[in-house]
Amino acid sequence: MAYLMAVDSGNTHVKWGIHDGNTWIKQGRSNLNQDLLLQQEWKNLPRPHKIIVSNVTDIEAKNKLSKLLSYWEIKPNWVTARTYQCGVKNHYIDPPLLGSDRWAALIAAWNYQQRGCLVIDVGTAMTVDTLSDTGEFLGGIIVPGFKLMKKALTANIISLQNQEGKFSNFPNNTADAIHSGTVHALAGTVKCMSELLSITLGHIPKCIISGGSSQQLLSKLNMDASVVDNLILEGLVLIAKEDSEII
């Protein structure tokens, strides 16, 4: 059996999976700095016939990832956003400059929804991208994610840096105030983009959410929304299939 290795290398983590053309055989996630752990886990996987990668990290991290992937002696396909692919039209001013992670997520969301929607990834940063009813990527925004926003607010307040805080409608301490404000800020960003896209579409869009903080965001959205795990990896499989890179 032929296998595809899909890798999503983000700002903090590397997510990966082995796909057989119909389903995932195995998936995993590691910190970018856990080279030895990744190396050991990948050595125990079935040998892939093709490798496809979304990478949004710096050149040093990319080189490190390339070295790890060289174990299989297969040239990886490093994904770059295109003007059109898998039913999605890219309206970025310079299409290849759209992050490969956002592009793969848009493709997966379109395949999943087939209608105008918001595509949200909540990780180190939160991206909120828009799809039209005809599969056009109209544009999107990027804001700090939960942890990054909290880190910025507590950078010079040592006593608050290790306090998680909890959500409250009316916070009565600083840790809760920062946590609640962060939640409101990100949920409010999504609601604002939903209202803008609603005007363009003529109907209220569904939100498709992925990323490590998906459930935290979902709990504060009073709208039609669902979490799709590993949306970027799903998009990479679709890209590989269309490019006949697989299996």
Distance between CA 80 and CA 82 in Å, rounded?
Answer: 6
Contact between residue 27 and residue 16 where contact means Cβ atoms under 8 Å apart:
yes
Contact between residue 239 and residue 107 where contact means Cβ atoms under 8 Å apart:
yes
Listed as own residue / partner, the contacts of 13-20 with beta carbons closer than 8 Å and 24 or more positions apart are 13/123, 13/212, 14/38, 14/65, 15/230, 15/232, 15/233, 16/42, 16/233, 17/230, 17/233, 18/45, 18/46, 18/48, 19/237, 19/246, 19/247, 20/247
Among residues 112, 105, 110, the alpha carbon closest in space to that of 56 is found at 105
Distance between CA 63 and CA 80 in Å, rounded?
Answer: 17
Sheet holding 24-31, edge to edge: 24-31, 13-19, 4-9, 50-55, 77-78
Provide the annotated active-site residues: 101
Q: Residue type at 150?
A: K
